[in-house]
Each structure stands twice: as structure tokens, then as C-alpha cells.
Structure 1
Amino acid sequence: MVTVVEKKALYDSMMQKAKRIGEAAEQEAMEAEQNRTISQRVADIIREEKIHRLILPKEFGYPQLDWRTYVDMISTVGYYNLSAAWLTYFFCLHNAWVCYYPKHIRDEVINQGGFVADVFAPVGKVEPVEGGYLISGKYHFVSGINYCDWVGVGAMMKFDDNDKPERVGILLKVKDLKIVKDWDSLGLRGTGSNTIIVDKVFVEPDKILRFSKIIEKSQPPYDDFDEDYLYFNTPFYPGFYVGFAAMALGGAQRVLDEFKKHTVGRVRFSGVKEKESPTSQRVLSELTLEYISAKCLMEEYIKMMEADKGGPYEGAKYKAIRAKIIDKCVNIGTKALLTLGAHAVVKGHPVELFTRDLMTIGTHITSLYEDGIIGYGRHLFGIETNIQG
């Protein structure tokens, strides 16, 4: 009974944190749209609530979240503002890959306390030099970089124990690179996903993370690790990507609420109240059932993560479920927008804003619907896909 009460108290606390962040970001939504980033105030609230320290091993003194609490926290922020949900997710998530570095690197980053960004597209050039490497590259879409002290970047490298080059993550300090503030997008404008330029930055070998090693073994390369830590007990990539579907669910729920609110107050030229129209009744019913089915898929995804502890797992299934959830949420936005009519496309209307943001979530490389569905179909026919989740 004590455990149940404690878990409920933790859950309620996380939802309050999420609500505070979301409401603050919602108040500044149009300012963030114009500035193409959340404000310092919202970033400070995320820091005050210690969101960037939530997903950490227990030795750092923070609560161990279960997957449902984590997913619901991200969804709750998303209900109020999807750009803020994106960054809330990233600022707590990115410490997860930091925890796979050797302990002295992990501790340096975590104890310093700064936000961590990443962009692991393997576009970097790695040049061996005495004592380490020089890293160069131009990386786009680095979400939240305006407020980060650390960033992980991607490259391909060859190692002695592998006959093929492999994808790696390289940890850098933001002060050692250049930020180009060029983010100007359809949606998620408040994420400040700017470009960074890395120009021959020196990095020690122990700040290079081999993702192949994480795929082989979900635990880190040191012995006394926290065996209860969330990311050490599930396939890494499905756990790393779960937040995209989580925030989409929050945004879709908000669209449904806004659709109902604006339909109730709408009267057509003929004098017919729109809530009495079979058209809007059917749409609300249909979209609500779509949302319920998306929530059920999220529950299945969580159950899979809780069950898959070590050994082979169905990466293609994870990706397909996530893509299907997000696709359903995008369709909820677009159908609601088209049904509400012209007033809903006015800049700043909640349905207009959330629909653009949902569409942009759907364009993320891990969310692309056709890739996810086709990959799972190949997997079902026994064809190798190499999809990690």
C-alpha cells in the first residue's frame, strides 16, 4: 500500500511539473512562434523543475520514473504546447545516452548540470591526431541548442574490432562551436532547432560513444551501474524515441477539446447550431475513437518496452507502432481543422497551431509513416530490416 501511495504521489508531482511548464509555454506561444524559440523564462522553469535530471540513475538522487509516468508527463506538456513538450522531452532524454559513457565522462556532464542537445546524423568528419581526434561538420535541426552547454554529434568511424565503419556519438561543449540561428519552420517553431558548425574541435577518445555497443548490450561499460535505471532495462532506441508519440498524443487531445469547444459555439448562416449537425457529430465521434486507438497503441508500446529486457526485439514493430500513433494524431489535427472551417486557419488559432506542430512531429526521421509501415511489413514476411526501433 505504501508503494502504491508513493507511486501516485510521484505521478501527481510529475504531472504538476508538466502542467507548470506547459501553461507557461502556452502563455508565450505566439512570442515563441515569432522568436523561433521558447523564452529564457520557460527554459528556466524546465531547469527549476529539474526536468533535465529526472531520467538519471538513482545515485544522483532523483526519482526512478516508470514508462507510463514518463510518457504521461511528456503528453501533459504537449497538451499545452508542443514545442515545450519537444524540449522537455529532449532535455531529460539526452542524459540517457550520456549515462553510457565511462563514469568520469558521465559524472562530468551530469554534475555540471547543463542541458544536453544532440544531432546524431553521421555527417561529421573525424581526423585522427595525437591524443584524440579533430571533429568537423555542419549539423542542422539541433533542438534546444540555444540553452544547452553540451551537444552530441554524429559521425562514421572505423574501429579495430569491426571491419565496417559504424555510427558514433561525439560529446562536445557548445562553447567550442558556432550556432547559426536559422530555424524557420512550419511547426515546432519554439524548439529553436538551429544549425551548429563544428570546425576542427579536439575530442578525446573516451568522449566517443559507439552505438553498436549499446545495441549489443543495454547496460553501460562499467560494473557498478544502477540495475533499476529505466534505459538500462529496455532496448535503447525504442526507449529513446517514445517521447515523439507521447507528445503527439497530448497535442491530439488538445485538438479534440478545441474542436468540441469551437463547434459548440458555432452557428452556420442557416441558423443551424453546428453541434446539432450530423457532420460535426460524426467527425468528433470518429476522431475521438482514433485518439482512443492511438492511446491503446501507446499502451502496447509501453508493455513491449517493459517486457523486452536484453536479447533480440522487434525494432520494426516499435517503429511502426510509433509511426501509426503519430499518423493518427496528425490526422486528428487536419480533419478537425478542415471541419471547423476558415476561422480555424487564422494564425494563432489553437487548432491551426497544434496541427502545424503535429505535422512537424510527423516529419521527424523516426516518425515517417511510410518508412515505419513498410519496414514492419518486411519484418512480418521475415525480411531483414536492420531497424533498431
Structure 2
Amino acid sequence: MVSTVQKNVYESLMESAKKIGKLAESERLIADEKNTISGNVIDLIKKEGINKLIMPEEYGSVQIDFTTYTDMIKTVGFYNLSASWLTYFYSLHNSWAAYLPKHRRDEIYHDGGLLADILAPLGRAKRVDGGYILTGTYNFVSGIKHSKWCAVGAVVVDKETPEQIVLVIDADNVNIVENWNSLGLRGSGSHTLVIEDLFIPNDLSFRIQDIQKKSKPLEGPFDSNYLYYNVHFLPAFYVGFPAMSIGGAERAIEEFKKRTENRIRISGEPEKASPRSQRVIAEMMMKLQAAKGLMRTYIEMLEEDTGHKYDPSEYKAIRACIIQYCIDIAQRALLTSGAAALIKGHPLEMIVRDLLAIGTHVTSLYEDAVDAYGKMLFGYNSEVRG
């Protein structure tokens, strides 16, 4: 049974999500032109406390479950997917900070700056006294212009067996190349970071593999009820991608229904009376329900998995399938609506572009995901981490 407190938290977060989404939607053409959402949206994310959402309770953050979290992300995505992308990231990235030593957690959380990351091991780190010297170029660092801290992946090169590590940097100490110019998610501001010979102390480093094994900080104290402790970390870390996609698909169906209800063919036939559009909306709704069902399954798996119950390839396949369903819905809505939906800035045109961009994220690639899951089902190593 949901308590009154939980219900109030849920309703409050959904209202915050609507505010953020609606503001971003009203500025969508400017964000599309400038390749970043505005400072107005960033300020609202902070005002609504979303950037402090996924912190341990000791830092004053309200504690939520994965259903509440994904519904919040989905709600922003209904209005604007770039804003949903960053709303998700600016809260999610508090989760890796929760695995740092206590004094570094305190520093980052109390600082109040936004957090970005690019965890792929694209840099090269050399071990030195007290830490590492980092050099690397990192593409696709979403929201970096508005961020104070950034976690980046690297390979330690001074060992016989290369070791992957994540290093946390002060974004003021790196060069940001503003080169984001994409088909979709243009408002995400996913620019490039260039780092040259930057010293990172040991206590601003962690290893994803250590988190995956232990699912809690390597040193205490820590809040055992925190959402991102005692969980299969990487599948939990990627939970927002399918959630925002469902929000976009819901909006695509709404836009299709609205346009179809007011569309009159040259023959004089109301389009809503046509078996064509009736069949299309029915099939889109069924595919949306399938996506939502898979989302519920994904969350149920997370809630009972402390790190070893389900193979990571199954999580990846479910995420990719949800996202592909949502892409299919949006593309069909646009293609059935006709040329008017192609006009720059039309909701369907933007949703299709943004969903395609989500589908190209390395954790969302459909062909990779189903290939890996199939390998696992036949007893082979899928080589998927999350």
C-alpha cells in the first residue's frame, strides 16, 4: 500500500516534471538551433530540486523507487526529449558520486554543481604519487557546459594488464569544444571534452567493476536504503533511456490522434473514420502497452537483483526492445500523418529525430542487444556489463 507521504512525493515530482517539460517544449526551436537547452530550463531543474534527487538520505534527498524515478523521466519526455535526457542525467549522476569516499561525497553534494559523465574508457591515465595523470578526448558529454563535475573513463596504461578506471574531474579544469551538431537530441548540448595531463587524486577515482561486485561504497558509512546501493548498478544506471522513450511515444500517439481527428481528405472523408488510421492507432497503442509492460518487468527485475540474479544481456535486450518499439510508434505516426508532420519543429518531426538519437546510444543499440541476449540464451558469454 502506498503511504500518503509516498503519494505526495510522487505527485510533487510529476508536477515538477511537467513544469520542466513544458518550459523546454516552449523553447524547443531555440534549443534545436543552439544545440542546448536554455539556462531557464537548467535553473528550473535546480529550483525543482531534480539535480538533488538521487542522493543518499543523509544529504537531504527524498528517497524514491524506480517506478517513481522512471515516471518522472517519462513525464518530462512527453513534452521534450532533450530536457528529459538532461533531467535524467543531472539526477542519475549523483549515483556514482555516492560510491566515492565520504569526504568526497560531502564535497560534491554540498557544492551543488551539476554532474556530467562519459564512462567509456576513452582516456589514458598514468599512475603517479597520490593519483593519476589523465589525457583524453571525450565526445558526446551531455550537458557539460552547465556542469561543475564530470566523471570520465580511462585505461591505466602503466600495467601489464590494462585496467579500466573512472576519474572525477572539476569541469573548470578542462577544455570544452562546442561541436555538438546532431540529427536528434540537439538540446542535450553533448559537446566534446579535451583533457591534457590533468592530475586526479586517488580519492576522486573508482572502478565500475568494484561497484558491480559490491553494490555499495568501498568504505562507509553509507545509507543502506539508498536506491543505487544493493542493486545491479549498470542496468539501474541505464533505466532512464527506455523510460523517456515511452514518454516520447505517448506524445507521438497523442499528436497523431489530434491531427487525425481534424484531418479531412481531399475526397471529403474524415480521416478518423478511415479504417487505415483506426488500425494504425490501435496497433500503435498495443505496441505502447507492450513497451510499458517490458518497462514494468525491467523494474521488477531491478528490485529483486542485488547484482547477480539476471544476466546483463537480458536487461540490455529489454531496454533496446522498448526503445525500438517507441521508435516504430513515432515513425508510423509521422508517416501516416503526412507531409505536414515533416515541418521543422513539428512535435512528430522532433520526436522521431530524438528517439532515433536515443536508439543510437551505445547502451540502446537493438542489433547488439538482441545478439548478446541470444548468445547468453545458448550458453555463450554475452560480454555485456549492463
Q: How does 1:230-309 map to 2 (within 5 A)?
A: 230-309=227-306
Match of 2:199 in 1: 202
- Once the two structures are superposed, what CA deviation does each residue of 1:268-287 show, in whole Å capped at 9, x if it has no partner? 11111111111111100000
Q: How does 1:18-57 map to 2 (within 5 A)?
A: 18-57=17-56
The alpha-carbon deviation at position 107 of structure 1 amounts to 1.2
Match of 1:89 in 2: 88
Q: How does 1:1-389 map to 2 (within 5 A)?
A: 4-157=3-156, 164-389=161-386
Partners of 2:297 and 2:383 lie apart in 1 by: 22
Q: Is the 8 A contact 1:264 1:274 kept in 2?
A: yes
* More deviation, 284-293/376-385: 376-385
- Once the two structures are superposed, what CA deviation does each residue of 1:222-275 show, in whole Å capped at 9, x if it has no partner? 232101000103100010000000000000000000000011111111111111
SS at match of 2:228: helix
One-letter code of the match for 2:378? F
Partners of 1:339 and 1:269 lie apart in 2 by: 15
Partners of 2:381 and 2:128 lie apart in 1 by: 38
One-letter code of the match for 1:154? G
One-letter code of the match for 1:20? K
SS at match of 2:117: strand
Partners of 1:4 and 1:158 lie apart in 2 by: 51
Partners of 1:233 and 1:204 lie apart in 2 by: 27
SS at match of 2:238: helix
* More deviation, 129-138/200-209: 129-138
Q: Is the 8 A contact 1:166 1:212 kept in 2?
A: no
One-letter code of the match for 1:329? C
Gaps of 5+ in 2: none
TM-score (norm 1): 0.97
Gaps of 5+ in 1: none
Partners of 1:158 and 1:189 lie apart in 2 by: 35
TM-score (norm 2): 0.98
Q: Is the 8 A contact 2:102 2:220 kept in 1?
A: no
Superposition CA RMSD, Å: 1.3
The alpha-carbon deviation at position 108 of structure 1 amounts to 0.9
Partners of 1:18 and 1:154 lie apart in 2 by: 30
SS at match of 2:239: helix
Partners of 2:4 and 2:122 lie apart in 1 by: 48
Partners of 1:119 and 1:41 lie apart in 2 by: 25
The alpha-carbon deviation at position 311 of structure 1 amounts to 3.5
Q: Is the 8 A contact 2:53 2:91 kept in 1?
A: yes
**Aligned pairs, number:** 386
Cα separation, partners in 2 of 1:159 and 1:387, compared to 1, 3 Å: farther
Q: Is the 8 A contact 1:74 1:246 kept in 2?
A: yes
- Once the two structures are superposed, what CA deviation does each residue of 1:52-81 show, in whole Å capped at 9, x if it has no partner? 111011001111011100000000000000
SS at match of 1:68: helix
Q: Is the 8 A contact 1:166 1:210 kept in 2?
A: no
One-letter code of the match for 2:15? Q
Q: Is the 8 A contact 2:118 2:151 kept in 1?
A: yes
SS at match of 2:138: strand
